[in-house]
Amino acid sequence: MTSRRARAVLGVLSLSAFTFVTTELLPIGLLTVIAPDLGRSRSQVGLLVSGYALVVVLASIPLALLTQRVPRRQLLTVAMLLFAVANVAGALASTYEILAGSRLITALTQALFWSVAPPAVTGLFPVERRGRVVAVFGFGPALAPVLGVPLCTWLGQQAGWRTAFFLMAVAGVAAATAVAVLLPSAVPAEGGAARGTTPDRRRFRILVVVTAIGITGFLTFTTYVTPFLLDVAGFGAGALAPLLFVSGVAGAVGTLAVSRTLDAHPVASMAVPLAVGAFALLGLFAVGGSKPLAGVLLGGSGLAYAAYATSLQNRMFQLAPGSTDVASATLGTAFNLGIAAGSLAGGALLALPGSRSIAPAGGLLVVAALVLLIADSRAANSRCNKPANHIH
């Protein structure tokens, strides 16, 4: 395969990831539009995010195992076409239940995509370029909050939330066509990223736990960021799309920044975003009533989240103890478990203490992930530095 075609595949799958993440997060930006149209509360619409994530949690590993022998081109093409059909169903939904059902189907396609797409595209490039490839692939989902969610939020406010779902369906068809034309028809075992470069089962398990806790912390706040900005920071509805855009731009910057450190400093590439995210979320609790400070800290949270997500994917390719397809599915399960748990926790806090409480709750969970990561790194360094026993 030529390097030009490999780069084209990387671009297509990165944009496909952009489309998936945008669709997953659509209810966040459209929360205040969907709720009154379908006669549901904000918390109930927020459950469209947690329910979506729960399906991904339950389906990722089984789907990865069931499709291990299916050529990647055919598999991903079908997944993107089903994604498009499900979004059309969501756009036409007349009830909350139908919308929830359409998102369940979309979530199944996402579970499959995130299990097989990262290893498929990474395997097209040499190992020494893996960190940069992961970062480029991660740039697509990082752009989702920059372009996808703000655009769909604005579009939903202007033309109705259903228009945003139709737009995602069109994007799905375009992605399916490009994948069918460009991606080689290969099974996972033939790819160059079929196994981890430094497999370590114990450390991979810690990575999975760190992923779940950290993402839960970020999503406890992010799922209900619009009520926070309206109720605590005092912004008007018209400011939501620009604020989400600022957060997304920061996320894109975070992805670019972390791409320079992924290969040389994989642990620091996870720890620094966690530290920045904890500072931002706890800061929003302390000074979130100030519009300028809330805007800056929102950007900090977006930067940290995107950089953290990219660094997790890169670390998976290093520590995967077996097939990277299964490892990717496992990491995706932990990631979406965090999304679901964060959405549920944020919804419970929104209904009881109120919008302000979601920032410190999220921040403390991010701190917990950081502490666990540092402890694991120190334990690993201690084992490496321990002198070997010699027989005399």
Q: What CA–CA distance (Å, rounded) separates 171 from 158?
A: 20
Tell me whether residue 389 is in a domain.
no
The mean of the pLDDT values for the chain is: 88
Determine contact, residues 29/241, Cβ cutoff 8 Å.
yes
State residue 46's pLDDT score.
77
User: What is the mean predicted confidence (pLDDT) over 90-113?
Assistant: 92
User: What is the mean predicted confidence (pLDDT) over 99-107?
Assistant: 92
**pLDDT per residue over 72-81, tens digit each?**
899 999 999 9
**pLDDT per residue over 191-220, tens digit each?**
555 677 889 999 999 999 999 999 999 999
Q: What CA–CA distance (Å, rounded) separates 251 from 204?
A: 25
Indicate the range of 16-20, 208-212, 261-265, 381-385 predicted with least confidence.
Answer: 381-385
Place of tokens 């999975």: 208
Tell me whether residue 390 is in a domain.
no
Backbone CA torsion sign across 77, 107, 273, 262: negative
**pLDDT per residue over 340-373, tens digit each?**
889 889 989 988 888 999 999 999 999 999 999 9
Q: Can you say how many angstroms the Cα of residue 73 is from the centroid of all Cα atoms in its chain?
A: 23
The DSSP output letter for 234 is -
Tell me whether residue 30 is in a domain.
yes
Cβ neighbours around 356 below 10 Å, total: 18
Tell me whether residue 324 is in a domain.
yes
CATH label of the domain that carries residue 244: 1.20.1250.20
Tell me whether residue 54 is in a domain.
yes
Is 301's pLDDT higher than 80? yes
Tell me whether residue 286 is in a domain.
yes
* Torsion on CA atoms 134, 140, 146, 148, rounded to nearest 10: -150
Rg of the chain's alpha carbons, rounded to an integer?
Answer: 20
Give the length of the chain.
Answer: 392
Q: Which domain holds residue 16?
A: 3-382
Query: Please, which residues have CB within 8 angstroms of residue 336's CB and are 6 or more apart in sequence?
Result: 53, 54, 56, 57, 60, 111
Tell me whether residue 387 is in a domain.
no
State residue 188's pLDDT score.
57
State residue 391's pLDDT score.
40
**pLDDT per residue over 242-273, tens digit each?**
888 888 889 889 998 998 898 889 999 999 99
**pLDDT per residue over 41-74, tens digit each?**
777 887 887 788 788 888 989 998 898 888 889 9
Q: What CA–CA distance (Å, rounded) separates 111 from 130?
A: 22
Is 99's pLDDT higher than 60? yes
State residue 167's pLDDT score.
93
For residue 392, name the pLDDT band (cuts at 50, 70, 90).
Answer: very low
Tell me whether residue 38 is in a domain.
yes
Is 114's pLDDT higher than 70? yes
Residues 172-191 as b or e (16 or more Cβ within 10 Å = b): bbbbbebbbebbbeeebeeb
User: What is the mean predicted confidence (pLDDT) over 289-305?
Assistant: 95
Burial bucket for residue 58 (CB in 10 Å: 0-12, 13-18, 19+): middle
| Overall number of domains in the chain | 1
The two three-digit tokens of residue 289, written as one number: 């009533």
Is 296's pLDDT higher than 80? yes
**pLDDT per residue over 313-323, tens digit each?**
999 999 998 88
**pLDDT per residue over 128-168, tens digit each?**
778 888 889 988 888 887 788 878 888 888 888 899 999 99
- 42 versus 8: which is more confidently predicted? 8
Is 390's pLDDT higher than 70? no
Q: What percent of the chain has pLDDT over 70?
A: 95
Smallest CA-to-CA distance from 28 within 308, 273, 339 is with: 339
State residue 190's pLDDT score.
56
Smallest CA-to-CA distance from 325 within 115, 109, 106 is with: 115
